[in-house]
Amino acid sequence: MALGHGGHEVDKIPEGETISLEPLDTTLWVHILVQTLAFGILFPLGMVLGMVKSRWHVPLQIFSTLLALLGYALGHLHRGRQFHPKNVHAMAATPLFFLMIGQVVAGIYLKLHLEKGIHGRIRPAIRLVHSINGKAFPVYAWVQMVFGGITALGFCQGDHLGQCLAHFIMGGAFIAYGILLTILLLVGQLWLRRTGRSQEFFDSAVIAAWGCVNTFTEHRWGTEWVRNDWQHTTMGVVWWSAGLVGVWLSRSRDGAPKRNFIPGFILLLTGWAMSAHPQELMISAMTHKMFGYTLMGVGLTRIIEVSFVLRDKPGLSEDGTEVNSFQFIPVFLLYAAGFLFMCATEEQMTLIAGSGIDHVAYILIVYSLASLLFLFTMMLIHVYDRANPTAKKPLANGHVLGVDEAQLRDANEFELDGLVSDEEDEDRASRRKLLRDDGSEDGPSTPSTLGRNSDRVA
């Protein structure tokens, strides 16, 4: 995990800097790739497999842990570029390592199924801790990977720390918002309805709380006000004031959950403000402008989705499984906006400006990263959704067929397709029609198989 620890030649680091001038060596690149695979891909996949109680959960997490330990060792053995021993990535590696070991120990304990005596009292608590820690592990990993990138490049030191925090926290928040909306869109609509609140209630409440924080933290009180301070502080004011309006509008006159336009409007307004944010470098100005336009796109498409695609309804279908393709647009743009803002710090812009890469190529690279994370998130949700089918499939006679039964019927019909002649197919359809007319065709609640024997041919 750590990019460097003991054995560093600190005297190679120039005074006032946190890294030496040597390039990253092969060992360090392997460390980065191994830890990205373990913490960025395999651990999140293992988390989902654990949620669906897959038999592959334990083997995958064991393999991921061994891979992470290998990467941890490589982080101590590298040469080439050297780092200050008290860098943030190294300091965060130790608690993350112990969290990983604790998660493994808790998993082994639960796997032993010790339930007698004192184990019956402590097992529920250990299961809860294991569940919460496992679900939070992708967040730990994300933060540690960001720390790794910062440390590798020697960024976010001294006067750059404040704007670094602003970019990484706000950009990460937009990405997290996009991930949460992806989950709600694909598998969370029924849960949202059970809360008795509209989606805009939660969005507006978080926006209002965030605005309160920004109002009092964006300016160093006691110092002179500058142009950016005014913009950041007033942005915080509009967030909490409009956010409160969104909370109010999230209830109809009879107290039922109600959709509204406020979260989309706040994102649209924030995007407009950020597109005009003054910058010193041209590439920085263009990147911030694209971030603003992307955020404006989020807000505009969100308003269109709520007002015209869904027409103020919670979703397109009662079971929460139907999704309009337009609904993915604001979600994806949130990922892109988050990555654009995270990749627009002062030091990053200075580095890119001196590399020969223009703003168009840079923005396209950032959009590519957003696309990959969007894809990976949907893949994880798909794994979860496939193992937890909740939809019901209606039949023509008014009955509702369970998912397993529906899949069996569909599979049988698919296997028969092309194996029976047209005459046999018509004869079977006529027989079914006669059974329906007589009221004797069986549904899910009747055990009779009359008239379905021919359908069971594989």
What is the per-residue pLDDT across 181-208, written as a single tens digit (0 to 9) for each?
Answer: 999 999 999 899 999 999 999 999 999 9
How many Å from the N-terminal Cα to the C-terminal Cα in the chain?
52
Q: For the segment 242-254, what is each residue's pLDDT rounded down to a tens digit?
A: 999 999 999 999 9
CB-based contacts of 262, cutoff 8 Å, min separation 6: 200, 203, 204, 242, 243, 245, 246, 249
What pTM does this model have? 0.82
Mean pLDDT of 217-233: 78
Query: CB of 43 within 8 A of CB of 61?
Result: yes
Q: Is the model's pLDDT at 267 over the cut of 50? A: yes
Residue the block writes with tokens 């009292």: 121
Report whether pLDDT(442) > 50: no
pLDDT at 398 over 60: no
| Residue ranges of domains in the chain | 1-154, 162-387, 393-456
Torsion of CA 196, 199, 200, 206, to 10 degrees: 100
> pLDDT tens for residues 88-106?
999 999 899 999 999 999 9
Task: State the average pLDDT over residues 204-229.
Answer: 84
> Counting every residue, how long is the chain?
458
pLDDT in tens, 9-34: 677 888 878 898 899 999 999 999 99
Question: Mean pLDDT throughout 306-330?
Answer: 92
What are the tens digits of pLDDT across the range 422-432?
444 445 555 55
**According to the model, what pLDDT value does residue 437 have?**
55
With 90 as the cut, is the pLDDT of residue 292 above it?
A: yes
Torsion of CA 95, 97, 99, 100, to 10 degrees: 170
pLDDT value at residue 8: 54
Reduced to 3 states (helix: H, G, I; strand: E, B; else coil), residue 48 is helix
CB atoms within 10 A of CB 163: 15
Q: How many CA atoms lie within 13 A of 83 on its CB side?
A: 28
pLDDT of 390:
57
Portion of the chain with pLDDT greater than 90, in percent: 64
Mean pLDDT of the chain: 84
